[in-house]
Copies of this chain bind each other. A is one copy, B any other.
Amino acid sequence: MAKQERAFVTRQQIIRAAAESFDVTGYERTTLSDIVDGSGVTKGALYFHFKSKDELGAVVIEEQHAISMAAAAEIHATGAPALEQLVMLAYEMGRQVIEDPVVRAGIRLTLELSAAEGPPKPYVDWISGLDQLFRDAAAEGDLADTMDAAHLARYFVSAFTGVQLVSNVLTQRQDLESRIEQMLEIFLPSIMAPRRRRRIDSYRHARWVPTQG
Protein backbone atom coordinates (compact mmCIF):
# COMPACT_ATOMS: atom_id res chain seq x y z
CA MET A 1 0.00 0.00 0.00
CA ALA A 2 1.18 3.53 -0.76
CA LYS A 3 1.74 5.77 2.25
CA GLN A 4 -1.30 7.91 1.45
CA GLU A 5 -3.51 4.87 1.13
CA ARG A 6 -2.28 3.52 4.49
CA ALA A 7 -3.06 6.86 6.10
CA PHE A 8 -6.57 6.73 4.63
CA VAL A 9 -7.15 3.19 5.93
CA THR A 10 -5.90 4.16 9.40
CA ARG A 11 -8.16 7.21 9.45
CA GLN A 12 -11.19 5.10 8.50
CA GLN A 13 -10.32 2.51 11.18
CA ILE A 14 -10.28 5.27 13.79
CA ILE A 15 -13.57 6.77 12.59
CA ARG A 16 -15.22 3.36 12.67
CA ALA A 17 -13.95 2.56 16.17
CA ALA A 18 -15.08 5.99 17.38
CA ALA A 19 -18.52 5.46 15.86
CA GLU A 20 -18.82 2.02 17.49
CA SER A 21 -17.99 3.48 20.91
CA PHE A 22 -20.29 6.51 20.48
CA ASP A 23 -23.11 4.21 19.38
CA VAL A 24 -22.77 1.63 22.15
CA THR A 25 -21.34 3.61 25.08
CA GLY A 26 -22.57 7.11 24.21
CA TYR A 27 -20.45 10.11 23.33
CA GLU A 28 -19.93 11.36 26.88
CA ARG A 29 -18.73 8.06 28.32
CA THR A 30 -16.40 7.26 25.41
CA THR A 31 -12.75 8.03 26.05
CA LEU A 32 -9.95 8.40 23.49
CA SER A 33 -8.40 5.28 25.05
CA ASP A 34 -11.55 3.29 24.19
CA ILE A 35 -11.17 4.46 20.59
CA VAL A 36 -7.46 3.55 20.51
CA ASP A 37 -8.30 0.08 21.86
CA GLY A 38 -11.18 -0.40 19.43
CA SER A 39 -9.29 0.73 16.34
CA GLY A 40 -6.07 -1.21 16.92
CA VAL A 41 -4.01 1.87 16.05
CA THR A 42 -1.54 3.57 18.38
CA LYS A 43 -2.38 6.63 20.45
CA GLY A 44 0.20 8.53 18.35
CA ALA A 45 -1.58 7.59 15.12
CA LEU A 46 -4.91 8.73 16.56
CA TYR A 47 -3.50 12.11 17.57
CA PHE A 48 -1.82 12.44 14.16
CA HIS A 49 -5.27 12.27 12.54
CA PHE A 50 -7.55 13.85 15.13
CA LYS A 51 -7.00 16.53 17.75
CA SER A 52 -9.82 15.60 20.12
CA LYS A 53 -12.97 13.61 20.77
CA ASP A 54 -14.91 16.71 19.69
CA GLU A 55 -13.28 16.58 16.28
CA LEU A 56 -14.02 12.85 16.00
CA GLY A 57 -17.65 13.52 16.86
CA ALA A 58 -17.89 16.13 14.10
CA VAL A 59 -16.18 13.80 11.60
CA VAL A 60 -18.55 10.91 12.41
CA ILE A 61 -21.53 13.23 11.79
CA GLU A 62 -20.00 14.38 8.46
CA GLU A 63 -19.22 10.81 7.37
CA GLN A 64 -22.73 9.60 8.17
CA HIS A 65 -24.21 12.52 6.29
CA ALA A 66 -21.95 11.87 3.29
CA ILE A 67 -22.94 8.16 3.24
CA SER A 68 -26.65 9.04 3.34
CA MET A 69 -26.39 11.81 0.74
CA ALA A 70 -24.44 9.52 -1.63
CA ALA A 71 -27.27 6.97 -1.47
CA ALA A 72 -29.83 9.73 -2.04
CA ALA A 73 -27.91 10.93 -5.13
CA GLU A 74 -27.70 7.41 -6.56
CA ILE A 75 -31.38 6.81 -5.91
CA HIS A 76 -32.19 10.12 -7.60
CA ALA A 77 -30.08 9.04 -10.59
CA THR A 78 -32.35 6.01 -11.15
CA GLY A 79 -34.88 8.45 -12.63
CA ALA A 80 -37.69 6.53 -10.89
CA PRO A 81 -40.91 8.39 -10.03
CA ALA A 82 -40.35 10.62 -6.99
CA LEU A 83 -42.58 8.59 -4.65
CA GLU A 84 -40.79 5.41 -5.69
CA GLN A 85 -37.51 7.15 -4.80
CA LEU A 86 -39.04 8.02 -1.42
CA VAL A 87 -39.73 4.33 -0.75
CA MET A 88 -36.21 3.35 -1.87
CA LEU A 89 -34.73 6.03 0.40
CA ALA A 90 -36.72 4.94 3.44
CA TYR A 91 -35.62 1.30 3.14
CA GLU A 92 -32.02 2.27 2.31
CA MET A 93 -31.81 4.56 5.35
CA GLY A 94 -33.21 1.71 7.43
CA ARG A 95 -30.59 -0.67 6.04
CA GLN A 96 -27.78 1.80 6.77
CA VAL A 97 -28.95 2.32 10.35
CA ILE A 98 -29.04 -1.44 10.92
CA GLU A 99 -25.73 -2.28 9.22
CA ASP A 100 -23.43 0.73 9.64
CA PRO A 101 -22.22 1.89 13.07
CA VAL A 102 -21.06 5.20 11.53
CA VAL A 103 -24.65 5.91 10.48
CA ARG A 104 -26.06 4.94 13.89
CA ALA A 105 -23.51 7.07 15.74
CA GLY A 106 -23.93 10.02 13.37
CA ILE A 107 -27.69 10.08 13.88
CA ARG A 108 -27.35 9.78 17.65
CA LEU A 109 -24.74 12.54 17.87
CA THR A 110 -26.75 14.86 15.62
CA LEU A 111 -29.82 14.49 17.83
CA GLU A 112 -27.76 15.13 20.96
CA LEU A 113 -26.26 18.35 19.59
CA SER A 114 -27.45 21.38 21.43
CA ALA A 115 -30.20 23.10 19.45
CA ALA A 116 -28.66 26.37 20.63
CA GLU A 117 -25.82 25.85 18.15
CA GLY A 118 -28.22 26.23 15.22
CA PRO A 119 -30.05 23.69 13.10
CA PRO A 120 -27.74 20.76 12.29
CA LYS A 121 -26.80 20.50 8.61
CA PRO A 122 -27.88 16.83 8.18
CA TYR A 123 -31.48 17.65 9.12
CA VAL A 124 -31.52 20.84 7.04
CA ASP A 125 -30.17 18.97 3.98
CA TRP A 126 -32.54 16.03 4.39
CA ILE A 127 -35.58 18.24 4.68
CA SER A 128 -34.60 20.33 1.66
CA GLY A 129 -33.85 17.18 -0.39
CA LEU A 130 -37.24 15.69 0.48
CA ASP A 131 -38.93 19.03 -0.20
CA GLN A 132 -37.60 18.77 -3.78
CA LEU A 133 -38.70 15.13 -3.99
CA PHE A 134 -42.28 16.00 -2.99
CA ARG A 135 -42.27 18.90 -5.50
CA ASP A 136 -41.22 16.39 -8.15
CA ALA A 137 -44.02 14.07 -7.04
CA ALA A 138 -46.46 16.98 -7.41
CA ALA A 139 -45.11 17.79 -10.90
CA GLU A 140 -45.55 14.12 -11.82
CA GLY A 141 -49.19 14.33 -10.75
CA ASP A 142 -48.81 11.84 -7.90
CA LEU A 143 -49.42 14.20 -4.98
CA ALA A 144 -52.88 15.20 -3.78
CA ASP A 145 -53.51 18.93 -4.43
CA THR A 146 -53.99 19.63 -0.74
CA MET A 147 -50.44 18.53 0.15
CA ASP A 148 -47.68 21.03 0.91
CA ALA A 149 -44.21 19.73 -0.06
CA ALA A 150 -42.37 21.61 2.70
CA HIS A 151 -44.70 20.28 5.41
CA LEU A 152 -44.49 16.74 4.05
CA ALA A 153 -40.68 16.89 3.96
CA ARG A 154 -40.42 18.03 7.55
CA TYR A 155 -43.00 15.49 8.69
CA PHE A 156 -41.42 12.57 6.83
CA VAL A 157 -37.95 13.24 8.26
CA SER A 158 -39.47 13.58 11.75
CA ALA A 159 -41.61 10.47 11.52
CA PHE A 160 -38.75 8.39 10.13
CA THR A 161 -36.46 9.61 12.93
CA GLY A 162 -39.03 8.53 15.50
CA VAL A 163 -39.70 5.18 13.84
CA GLN A 164 -36.04 4.20 13.92
CA LEU A 165 -35.47 5.48 17.48
CA VAL A 166 -38.52 3.74 18.93
CA SER A 167 -37.59 0.57 17.04
CA ASN A 168 -34.23 0.85 18.76
CA VAL A 169 -35.53 1.27 22.33
CA LEU A 170 -38.16 -1.44 21.89
CA THR A 171 -36.40 -4.10 19.80
CA GLN A 172 -32.82 -2.90 19.16
CA ARG A 173 -34.01 -2.22 15.58
CA GLN A 174 -34.86 -5.86 14.93
CA ASP A 175 -38.30 -4.86 13.65
CA LEU A 176 -37.16 -1.69 11.83
CA GLU A 177 -37.79 -2.96 8.33
CA SER A 178 -41.38 -3.99 9.04
CA ARG A 179 -41.98 -0.68 10.89
CA ILE A 180 -40.80 1.22 7.79
CA GLU A 181 -43.23 -0.86 5.75
CA GLN A 182 -46.11 0.07 8.09
CA MET A 183 -45.09 3.73 8.07
CA LEU A 184 -45.26 3.80 4.27
CA GLU A 185 -48.57 1.91 4.28
CA ILE A 186 -50.12 4.65 6.40
CA PHE A 187 -48.29 7.57 4.77
CA LEU A 188 -48.48 6.95 1.01
CA PRO A 189 -52.25 6.62 0.54
CA SER A 190 -52.80 9.81 2.54
CA ILE A 191 -50.60 11.99 0.33
CA MET A 192 -51.32 10.59 -3.15
CA ALA A 193 -53.75 12.03 -5.64
CA PRO A 194 -56.86 9.80 -5.62
CA ARG A 195 -56.53 9.02 -9.36
CA ARG A 196 -53.00 7.72 -8.78
CA ARG A 197 -53.63 5.50 -5.77
CA ARG A 198 -53.70 2.39 -7.93
CA ARG A 199 -49.92 2.92 -8.29
CA ILE A 200 -49.35 2.55 -4.54
CA ASP A 201 -48.60 -1.16 -4.69
CA SER A 202 -45.92 -0.79 -7.34
CA TYR A 203 -44.36 2.19 -5.51
CA ARG A 204 -44.40 0.38 -2.15
CA HIS A 205 -42.38 -2.48 -3.54
CA ALA A 206 -39.63 -0.32 -5.03
CA ARG A 207 -36.18 -1.14 -3.62
CA TRP A 208 -32.72 0.15 -4.38
CA VAL A 209 -29.65 -2.01 -3.89
CA PRO A 210 -26.28 -0.26 -3.46
CA THR A 211 -23.58 -1.33 -5.88
CA GLN A 212 -20.61 -2.91 -4.14
CA GLY A 213 -17.55 -0.69 -4.37
Contact = CB atoms under 8 A, between A and B. Distances in A.
A54 interface: no
Interface stretch (A33-41, A65-73, A148-156): A148-156
A75 to B, nearest CB: 21
B169 A115 contact: yes
A154 B182 contact: yes
B159 A110 contact: no
Contact of A179 (B112, B158, B170, B191): B158
Interface in A159-213: 159-163, 165-172, 179, 182-183, 185-187, 189-191
A80 interface: no
A163 B155 contact: yes
Q: Is the interface of A mostly helix, strand, loop or mixed?
A: helix
A120 to B, nearest CB: 6
Interface string A1-40: 0000000000000000000000000101100000000000
Contact of A119 (B151, B170, B182): B170
Which size class do A's interface residues fall under?
Answer: 35 or more
A58 interface: no
A169 B117 CA distance: 9
Interface in A65-116: 110-113, 115-116
A168 B110 CA distance: 11
Contacts of A189: 190
Given A28-B29, A119-B170, A169-B111, A162 B152 contact: no
A57 B120 CA distance: 27
Interface of A: 26, 28-29, 110-113, 115-116, 119-120, 123-124, 147, 151-152, 154-155, 157-163, 165-172, 179, 182-183, 185-187, 189-191
